[in-house]
Amino acid sequence: MSPVLRMAEGDTIYDYCWFPLMSSADPPTCFFASSSRDNPVHVWDAFRGDLRATFRSYNHLDELAAAHSLCFTPDGSQLFCGFDKTVRVFDTERPGRMCENRPTFVKKQGQSGIISCIAFSPAQPLYACTSYARTVGLYSRAEGAPLAMLQGHRGGVTHALFSPDGARLFTGGRKAPPPRRTPRSCAGTFGSRTGFCSPCAARWPPTSASTSTSSRVAGSC
């Protein structure tokens, strides 16, 4: 199978996401965003492969910072980007460096670590952030206020996905580090969360076999 288009990023690609209101019958809506190491977020035309826009984020030293995760809001009006202990929110129609900073870890409290994935609830005004520090945080969409912190993963959490009705949140993560006498490996794990209740474990695949991988564990509903 040969690719239809190729878009060259500057380094290792961290994440990408499609515009949620994309329609092939409406070319202006056909685009996606991508992030890569030491580069800003790029928005690409899905038909021509042209660069449409760039969103730039800077750290406290005014150095360019790369987003580790990306997610458009369900209405496509904003682009949420995950960084180390921070989520930055860009207006989709205003490329550049202007954004809203939403720290997830303040005064040694909150969600630490790199925000590895962002997912929006289809039924409630909230979103979930997963972290390589083994936590899942729930936040209000409007102002980013923390609502709940879910724990239970033994390794870094790499992916999150709400069920279509918004009643459950599925998360994928890495297996806990093995004993030092064995090579380090990771396994796919899904944790089911219902509302703001305590996590109840659910494994994938539903057998004793594990899948060794150091990449993200993703899924779809």
105 exposure class (CB count in 10 Å sphere: 0-12, 13-18, 19+): middle
Query: pLDDT digit string (tens) for 123-134?
Result: 999 999 999 999
Query: pLDDT digit string (tens) for 45-66?
Result: 999 999 999 999 999 899 999 9
Statement: residue 14 has pLDDT above 60: yes
Q: How confident is the model at residue 10 (pLDDT cuts 50, 70, 90)?
A: confident
Query: pLDDT digit string (tens) for 135-191?
Result: 999 999 999 999 999 998 989 999 999 999 999 999 999 876 665 443 333 333 333
DSSP string, 147-170: EEEEE--SS-EEEEEE-TTSSEEE
Q: Which residue has the higher pLDDT, 70 or 2?
A: 70
Longest dimension (CA), the chain: 56
The helix/strand/coil state of 53 is: strand
Mean pLDDT over the full length of the chain:
84
Q: What is the pTM assigned to this prediction?
A: 0.80
- Residue showing tokens 């209740």: 197
Contacts for 48 with CB less than 8 Å, ≥ 6 apart:
5
Query: pLDDT digit string (tens) for 83-127?
Result: 999 999 999 999 999 999 999 999 999 999 999 999 999 999 999
Q: Would you state the pLDDT for residue 182?
A: 32
Q: Would you state the pLDDT for residue 19?
A: 98
Cα end-to-end span (Å), the chain: 26
Q: Which residues pair with 30 in a beta bridge?
A: none
Report the share of the chain in percent with pLDDT over 70: 79
